[in-house]
Structure 1
């Protein structure tokens, strides 16, 4: 039966361990966390080579795992069998291994009382047309793991920092998501570094994230755009020079600024027509979190101001392409004059 991650963890804390778990989805780190929680509850005396067996579906026939699950544990009340990437539940092609899915189905329908079997599937969905999947949904404990929504990711970051003995400000959380993204493995790695920097009982703030958190080039550009549209010109200029040193093209940065301004304007226009944020995000083909950030940025501008900025950016693009101005000079000029342009537009359309 389908269950939530929270319900399963609460059960495990009480020492309740189910005979068969089917854990599937795209958020591998959360799956790993639950696997570890099941291990701790099923084998409280610790993992040993006799009562904890790991198999990979691409390498070992599934019937070997079934046979091991049916074998009585050695000097222990329970044994644990983990089968990784059990693709037989998905639409993925079977590896070149002689699997017997019928043996697995028979076991799921009548599991050994002294064993716990964990089946993980690296797929967004299960193939519900298969008889095996239907059996698992009826008899096993099935949990789906999908990418966290923005508010869930915020809660996860706060909980992770607390687990590491520190705290983090709301601005620090927002900066982490903006700088690092929502990949939980990368977030955990960066939070461990930040918690070590803050020390036991210390606080991680926005400045600490800016100083220490690693960013991909894509995230660097995302943060740069955020600094630009929030009119933090000094910080934007410093980031621009860093990006240029890393071989980013000025014309690309101008294009990214124009794209963000266009999204901000479209959000204003469409929300004025009664559409909610998620509907507009879907129309624009952007991630809901990116739309939320753009909406917050857009609150700093009027529609006329955004239209004026798009006009100025289009004019700069024309001058670059006709050789009237260099692309780097155009980018620098746009950033340095941006606050003045916004104030001028405000006065003109007041």
Structure 2
């Protein structure tokens, strides 16, 4: 049976530890918090030793994990073994290992599997074995109509009283970003002093996390949300931002993805590459989705196109810098939009 992360966490205190847990999905905050709850519960039950395995690509060697399942603990009688499976696809060898583990789980091990994605295509006998032997929770992306309820529940959990107008104002400001919402609510728990919040006081206490900034614009493009990225670009333009002020971060992010794409093409250990590029774990899923969308050579072209946008903005090339940048963002977001790059004035230069 598939659970939500909240349902899984609620069950932990009332039942014995299961031999295996899997928490996966596109909402990194929900995955992280559910995994943290499992870790804390395991520690309380005496699982003091922890081993972590990053299965980040086809080159992952499943042998050490299999050996861990068979080997006795070195430091304690009970161990938490974590398998980080960013794509939520273990492959044939990994799936067989997980099925075998679930068939005869060692008495001294709890296996925690975490991932950043999930769909009907991801499941199989291995995930059915996890759900049958333990608990499977999927952190699905919240729909816009679910955000208000999520914020209200989070406020109650943190002891913050807010009327519907205040809740709606916070929802508008965080614009669907659960991490930003959680951070703001944690801050409100300190600043509200136990007093009820109305819309006006909420306005004065929270930061404007929904402002159109370049960081979230690029994240939207990398995440395949072309229309949202274009809307944010229009917002930046309306706020009076200048193209050269944006391009430093745009080029930096595209260079990062291009570097990761080259590493992926040569079969490198992607977990190590993400660490080398200082990519936060919460953002790995965004980069992985972007890497799946275009080949390495295309990312090189995107970097070159960003350089052209900068030259246009500085008067060193012909064209409309805002239009070319918008088309670049759309092409990054959707493979089918790549021909737009050749339609901009001067695209052949």
TM, length-normalised to structure 1: 0.53
Instruction: Select 2:136's aligned residue among 128, 135, 142.
Output: 142
Counterpart CA distance in 2 for 1:83 and 1:41 is 17
Counterpart CA distance in 1 for 2:130 and 2:45 is 29
In structure 2, the CA distance between the partners of 1:112 and 1:179, relative to structure 1 (3 Å rule), is: same
Structure-1 residue corresponding to 2:81: 81
Q: How many residues align?
A: 219
Counterpart CA distance in 2 for 1:154 and 1:217 is 19
Deviations 1:262-315 (A, max 9, x none): xxxxxxxxxxxxxxxxxxxxxxxxxxxxxxxxxxxxxxxxxxxxxxxxxxxxxx
Shift of 1:45: 6.4
Shift of 1:80: 0.8
Structure-1 residue corresponding to 2:154: 160
Counterpart CA distance in 1 for 2:168 and 2:180 is 15
In structure 2, the CA distance between the partners of 1:247 and 1:207, relative to structure 1 (3 Å rule), is: farther
In structure 2, the CA distance between the partners of 1:119 and 1:129, relative to structure 1 (3 Å rule), is: closer
Shift of 1:120: 1.4
Counterpart CA distance in 2 for 1:10 and 1:79 is 22
Query: Secondary structure at 1:89's aligned position in 2?
Result: coil
Greater Rg by CA: 1
Counterpart CA distance in 2 for 1:15 and 1:139 is 14
Structure-2 residue corresponding to 1:43: 43
Q: Which moved more, 1:54-63 or 1:180-189?
A: 54-63
Query: Secondary structure at 1:217's aligned position in 2?
Result: coil
In structure 2, the CA distance between the partners of 1:133 and 1:158, relative to structure 1 (3 Å rule), is: closer
TM, length-normalised to structure 2: 0.53
Are positions 1:202 and 2:195 aligned together?
yes
In structure 2, the CA distance between the partners of 1:164 and 1:100, relative to structure 1 (3 Å rule), is: closer
Deviations 1:14-50 (A, max 9, x none): 24221111222111111111111111211116775xx
Contact in 2 for aligned 1:63/1:100 (Cα 8 Å): no
Structure-1 residue corresponding to 2:324: none
Structure-2 residue corresponding to 1:217: 211
What is the aligned-residue RMSD (CA, Å)? 3.4
Unaligned runs of 5+ in 1: 220-239, 249-350
Instruction: Select 1:244's aligned residue among 233, 239, 243.
Output: 239
Instruction: Select 2:171's aligned residue among 156, 166, 177.
Output: 177
Contact in 2 for aligned 1:108/1:139 (Cα 8 Å): yes
Are positions 1:32 and 2:25 aligned together?
no
Counterpart CA distance in 2 for 1:21 and 1:207 is 43
Deviations 1:28-79 (A, max 9, x none): 111111111111211116775xx11222112753442343244344564531
Contact in 2 for aligned 1:63/1:103 (Cα 8 Å): no
Query: Secondary structure at 1:203's aligned position in 2?
Result: coil
In structure 2, the CA distance between the partners of 1:5 and 1:138, relative to structure 1 (3 Å rule), is: same
Unaligned runs of 5+ in 2: 214-234, 244-349
Counterpart CA distance in 1 for 2:159 and 2:56 is 39
Structure-1 residue corresponding to 2:103: 109
Counterpart CA distance in 1 for 2:189 and 2:138 is 30
Shift of 1:119: 0.9
Structure-2 residue corresponding to 1:293: none
Shift of 1:100: 4.8
